[in-house]
Structure 1
Amino acid sequence: MTGLIETADHGDIREIRLARAPVNALNTELCRALIDALNAALDHGTRGIVLAGNPKIFSAGMDVPYLLSLGDNRHALLDAWQAFFGAARTLAESRVPVVAAITGHAPAGGCVLALCCDYRVMARSADPARPFALGLNETQVGLVVPEGIQRLMRRVVGPYRAERLLVAGEMVPAERALEIGLVDELVDQDEVTARSVAWLQQLLRLPHHPMLQTRTLARRDLVDALDPALIQLERFVDAWHAPDTQTALRALVDKLKK
């Protein structure tokens, strides 16, 4: 496995940990490494997967400085976004259950990956005044949320609440995320992975084929949401170059440097 991904087996459950320092920003290489790790887990006969991140951050989302460095190279930009949506589709289409072990903040692309999992266990911050948060905050940095990604949010929190969160680009604190169903459990940070494994172990005690077949039917809308026709990647990349989008993205990069 590449240095971007770490794995550990818990019996027949494989933990796949994003390991691109410092914040698991999703560039082309990390997204492709994640796809490879997911496929390798299935080839190994894994019956369940835990997708985890670093302490205090699950994933910071797409690597905006990297994307901006591509300039007008449309081919490279398309390739980067294709790799990201490919990782999301690989999670959504996994033939075994996947739990997102959300060990900290999960904005934008990090939240997308979590929404593609079957179940979300999130860390409770040790400092109540500074809770961990997740959400699709694309509008805050000048990006349009594609229809397919909007559907991921709607399926877990409902259409009206999803509209409010998406339009505002709101990052949802962990306690509220639990209240509205955006995450399924909230535990202390050092318990996130163990609880994720325990949930999978409980699920895997059920009669195997009926559970998996029911799961496939129940997640059909999730898989359909990531159809390329609902992502419209060409249009998305066209919008990437809009002046207000570029201004917002560069302001974000300046903020990250401070």
Structure 2
Amino acid sequence: MTELVAYRLDNGVATITLDDGKANVMSESMISAIAGALDRAEADRAVVLLTGRSRMFSAGYDLATFSRSPEDIRRTMRAGGDLIHRLLEFPFPVVAACPGHAIAQGAFTLLATDVRFGIAGDFKLGLNEVAIGLTVPHYGVEVARHRLTAPGFDRAMNTGILVDPAEARDMGFLDVLVADADELHVRATAEAHRLTGIDFGAHTQTKLRVRAQVCAAVRTGIDSEFGA
């Protein structure tokens, strides 16, 4: 089986690269692999640089997931919600380098990180659930409410629109937009290394204070929708 996630540690920065050879779908296997890489980064006390394959951060859940049994759907989506909750509370900084498309669960994952770099180009970012007949999970609503602008949140949630990287930055999906893949790597890596110099204890405690409401809402949403 092809390795879904690569892990590389370099001077206090753990680069976690998602690559399933296609759309980096958030299957249970992919989510489990990301969780394992986060375990390694936490044990290494490393700043995380989370990225994807060329032109693709993640297109979200495999739509085939939603044709499976209700129990399979609940299990997969609970795992996805748990990943979002973990990223929101991760005890070390998490930088996202989004090299292309980030859709649905892929966009929720992006929104749960601390600093988000994106690349200009013919890419789409957004939350297309209502456009394809899905109700946005509670945990997704809450992390999007926390990170998107108020008008961007309402529009993204209720219309299912996918936007280009420049508009995605304006809506709050991204913090920094760069010109190309080379600059993305340089800028995101530099930021990750800069963050190795902050006080991790203060970072963790401040993050938990700043995100107390969203983390509680995400956890409540996961447990109420998919079972405690």
Q: Unpaired runs of 5+ in structure 1? A: 126-130, 236-258
- What amino acid does structure 2 have at the position aligned with 1:193? H
- Counterpart amino acid of 1:225? A
Shift of 1:196: 1.6
> Where does residue 64 of structure 1 map in the other structure?
63
Contact preservation (8 Å) 1:60, 1:106: yes
Tell me the distance in 1 between the aligned counterparts of 2:102 and 2:217.
20
Q: 1:80 to 1:210 in 2, by over 3 A?
A: closer
Q: TM-score, normalised by structure 1?
A: 0.80
Task: Check the 8 A contact 2:149/2:172 in 1, yes or no.
Answer: no
After superposition, where does 1:174-189 map in structure 2 within 5 Å?
A: 174-187=165-178, 188-189=180-181
User: What is the rounded CA distance, in whole Å, between the counterparts of 1:82 and 1:230 in structure 2?
Assistant: 6
Equivalence map 1:103-122=2 (5 Å): 103-122=99-118
| Percentage of pairs with the same residue | 27
Query: In the alignment, which residue of structure 1 is the partner of 2:161?
Result: 170
Question: In structure 2, what is the equivalent of residue 223 of structure 1?
Answer: 215
- How far 1:231 moved relative to its partner? 6.6
Task: Give the letter for the 1:51 counterpart.
Answer: L
CA positional deviation for 1:230: 5.8
Match of 2:51 in 1: 52
Aligned AA (1:146) = P
Match of 1:202 among 184, 187, 194: 194
CA distance in 1 between counterparts of 2:222 and 2:4 reads: 29
In the other structure, the counterpart of 2:91 is 95
1:133-159 Cα distance to aligned partner (Å, 9 max, x none)? 211111011111133322222222333
* 1:113-152 equivalent positions in 2, closer than 5 A: 113-125=109-121, 131-152=122-143
Letter in 2 for 1:227: R
Corresponding residue for 1:79? 75
Give yes or no for contact 1:38–1:90 (8 Å, CA) kept in 2.
no
Q: Structure 2 length as normaliser, TM-score?
A: 0.90
TM-aligned CA deviation for residue 66 of structure 1: 4.1
Q: Please identify the structure whose Cα radius of gyration is greater.
A: 1
Q: Secondary structure at the match of 2:58?
A: coil
Distance 1:184 1:231 in 2: 30
Query: What residue in structure 2 maps to residue 29 of structure 1?
Result: 29
Q: Contact 2:139/2:217 (CA < 8 Å) preserved in 1?
A: yes
Q: Distance in 2 between matches of 1:216 and 1:197?
A: 24
**Cα separation, partners in 2 of 1:26 and 1:211, compared to 1, 3 Å:** closer
Asked whether the equivalents of residues 24 and 52 of structure 2 are also in contact (C-alpha less than 8 Å), the reply is: yes
- The residue type equivalent to 2:57 in the other structure is F
- Residues 94 and 183 (structure 1), Cα distance of their counterparts in 2 relative to 1, 3 Å cut: same
Higher mean displacement: 153-162 or 104-113: 153-162
Give 1:226 deviation, angstroms. Answer: 1.6
- CA change 1:228–1:177 in 2 (3 A) is same
C-alpha displacement of 1:9: 1.9
Moved over 6 A (4+): none
- C-alpha displacement of 1:234: 4.3
